[in-house]
Amino acid sequence: MKKETIGLIGGGQMGEALVRGMINSGLVPAGRIMVAEPDGKRRDSLSQTYQVKVTDIAEPLCDFASVLILAVKPQIIRPVLAQYKVFVGSNHLLISIAAGVPISAIEREIGRQRIIRVMPNTPALVLAGASALSPNEQASAEDLQLGMKIFSAIGTCVHLPESLLDAVTGLSGSGPGYVFTFIEAMIDGGVLAGIPRPVAEQLVLQTVYGSAKLALETGKPPAVLKGMVTSPGGTTIAGLHVLEEAGMRGAIMTAVDRAGKRSKELGS
Ligand SMILES: NC(=O)c1ccc[n+]([C@@H]2O[C@H](COP(=O)([O-])OP(=O)(O)OC[C@H]3O[C@@H](n4cnc5c(N)ncnc54)[C@H](OP(=O)(O)O)[C@@H]3O)[C@@H](O)[C@H]2O)c1
């Protein structure tokens, strides 16, 4: 990456994950990162753990950074942007990760700057996130490339039009909620069958992790991988029959669709 300097607005969970990802992947050295964070204890912890610069006000952050990453809760976006408005200009790329906040709302607060909106998800906290990213018209191809690099440092990243970000929210944004519900149910199933809970948990977590890893590393479609464990008249097809009868696929598809629609409702 060129000599970009990064300014995080908000040193909370996601802010810290981004700092860790950028430094650990070698994308940006700690000396080129500054975090603006109101909580003194958080500032001390971030500067001690990562050797990044810290501040509690907008001006030094905007003087320092060419890329500003807005990582505060969506509810406080407006007052925070009001603090930054006078310091943000065409020399900055502003990246917002605030869930459900449209680019148009950010432009209303700070003008038509170079803006990229990103929808990450919670596995980003362990650098295994899935993010979708949409630039506005002012953002250049180079800005987009830079955004892709930053969010690839905390997992995987795709470029999509902003009109699809609500659907992404229902899919990968809310997705961990569906997966954890599935994980919990599988563990309970193991307990029902007599397996001690901690053992069931260990087996289920590794099964889910290993299945995703297998799909990612072989590149084989899920249907083919499912076929590998589904022998005629065997155990897996007996279990799958129950899931199909219960309408699991339809329920999951509707859940993704409904969550996306809810995201749209909340954002409007
Ligand atoms: N966590 C996720 O996995 C995830 C997934 C998708 C999207 N997001 C989005 O990411 C954003 C951040 O989420 P999070 O989980 O990291 O929240 P968080 O842990 O609450 O972090 C937000 C941080 O911003 C700080 N802050 C408040 N006002 C500020 C200001 N004026 N200037 C600079 N910093 C300020 C907060 O400090 P105080 O606590 O002292 O107020 C807090 O440390 C949210 O918009 C959320 O929608 C998060």
What tens digit of pLDDT does each residue of 230-267 get? 999 999 999 999 999 999 999 999 999 999 999 988 87
Measured from the Cα of 173, ligand 1's closest atom is: 6
- The average confidence (pLDDT) of the chain is 95
Superfamily designation of domain 173-267: ProC C-terminal domain-like (1.10.3730.10)
The residue written with tokens 């060129």 in the block is 2
In 10 A of CB 265, how many CB atoms?
Answer: 10
CATH class of 6-165: alpha beta
What are the sequence ranges of the domains in the chain?
A: 6-165, 173-267
Tens digit of each residue's pLDDT (9 = 90 or more) over 124-156? 989 999 999 999 999 999 999 999 999 999 999
Does the structure show a pLDDT above 90 at 268? no
Pocket test for ligand 1, best of 9, 13, 151, 154 (most atoms within 8 A of CB): 13
Tens digit of each residue's pLDDT (9 = 90 or more) over 175-228? 999 999 999 999 999 999 999 999 999 999 999 999 999 999 999 999 999 999
Taking the centre of ligand 1 as the mean of its atom positions, its distance from the CA of residue 9, in whole angstroms, is 8
Q: Which residues form ligand 1's pocket by a CB distance below 6 Å?
A: 9-15, 36-39, 42, 71-74, 76, 80, 83, 97-99, 120-122, 124-125
Q: How many CA atoms lie within 13 A of 132 on its CB side?
A: 16
Burial of 161 (0-12, 13-18, 19+ CB in 10 A): exposed
Measured from the Cα of 83, ligand 1's closest atom is: 31
In 10 A of CB 57, how many CB atoms?
Answer: 11
Give the chain's largest Cα–Cα span. Answer: 69
| Pair 103, 117: CB distance under 8 Å | yes
Q: CA 179, 150, 57, 79 torsion: positive or negative? A: negative
Res. 2 pLDDT band, cuts 50 70 90? low
Residue closest via CA to ligand 1's atom 20 equals 12
Average pLDDT over residues 27-41: 96
Measured from the Cα of 39, ligand 1's closest atom is: 40
Residue closest via CA to ligand 1's atom 21 equals 12
Taking the centre of ligand 1 as the mean of its atom positions, its distance from the CA of residue 93, in whole angstroms, is 19
User: pTM of this prediction?
Assistant: 0.92
